[in-house]
Amino acid sequence: LPRHYVLPDSRREGIVINLAEYRLYYFTNGGVQVYPVGVGTAENPSPLTDAEVTMPLESPAWYPPASIRAEYEASGEYLPRMIPPGPGNPLGTHALLLSEKGYLIHGTNKKFGVGMPVSHGCFRMY
């Protein structure tokens, strides 16, 4: 992670993610909270968008898209159509559904990847 914080020049309310910094800024009336995030890879970039959080999810199930399931199959691994909540779920214990279809801000079940470009476009927190 970069060692310097660069507050975005964009709006200063709600959630703002700086992809280059791998940081999520959460602006509140009382100030700003900053968290490291994992973002999409060059092949599967995170969207540059002005999305809204449409729904918080507690203990989310994960329904991997067909494209991700195909990647797993190509490497000889099987990925089920649904991964239930629990320690094996890569979404972690909480997620925020975004208005940008197919993308979430979510937890993870592994520390690896936070602060790095490793996801299929979602924003990963630990």
Which one is catalytic: 4, 94, 106, 120? 106
What one-character-per-residue DSSP string does 2-55 give? -SS----SS--SEEEEETTTTEEEEEETTEEEEEE-BEE-SSSPPP-----EEE
Task: Answer yes or no: 106 catalytic.
Answer: yes
CA distance 79 to 64: 8
Collect all residues with Cβ–Cβ distance below 8 Å to 17 and sequence separation of at least 6.
23, 24, 25, 37, 39, 46, 105, 123
Kindly list the catalytic residues: 106, 122
